[in-house]
Amino acid sequence: MSEREQAAASPSVDEAMNRVLRAEQEARAAVEGCRAEAAAIVTAGEERAKRIVQAADRRIRAAHRLADQAVERAVKDLLGVQPEVAASALEGGGDRLDRAVAALADEIIGARP
């Protein structure tokens, strides 16, 4: 190849190298954009997970309060019964006690007939 042909080919080689470098730069920018987007998605997911855990904790605490209140009411009701009445209820068979326990359990877990 003559010097003239090499000189003519040189600009196209330079242009090709410049295109490759621009493409590489664009690819790096795209990767960085994806990295930033991924970080934002992870952060949003973590925040959502935290809100879900907090809501679950509130629901659990509320369920515990309801259960505690139901047990407290049942104990107060039992303490209000005369000992003779309680003894006669037990002597009469466990059916009544079983029904009372089942009703209390239903109230605690929120199952209403």
* Number of compact structural domains in the chain: 1
Query: 57 falls in which pLDDT band (50, 70, 90)?
Result: very high
- pLDDT in the model for residue 25: 97
Q: Considering the domain boundaries, does residue 94 fall inside one?
A: no
Residue 27 pLDDT exceeds 60: yes
Residues in the chain: 113
The backbone torsions φ and ψ at residue 93, rounded to the nearest 5 degrees and listed phi first, read: 115, 160
- Give percent above pLDDT 70 in the chain: 74
- pLDDT in the model for residue 50: 96
Q: Considering the domain boundaries, does residue 38 fall inside one?
A: yes
Residue 60 pLDDT exceeds 60: yes
The angle subtended at Cα 79 by Cα 75 and Cα 85, nearest 5°, is: 120
Mean pLDDT score, 78-91: 62
Q: Considering the domain boundaries, does residue 90 fall inside one?
A: no
Q: Considering the domain boundaries, does residue 16 fall inside one?
A: yes
For 26, the domain range is 3-59
Q: Considering the domain boundaries, does residue 89 fall inside one?
A: no
Residue 92 pLDDT exceeds 70: no
Residue 106's CB: how many other CB atoms inside 10 A? 13
Q: Considering the domain boundaries, does residue 7 fall inside one?
A: yes
Question: Of all helices (H) and strands (E), which one includes residue 58?
Answer: helix 3-80
Residue 23 pLDDT exceeds 70: yes
Q: Considering the domain boundaries, does residue 23 fall inside one?
A: yes
Higher confidence at residue 18 or residue 109? 18
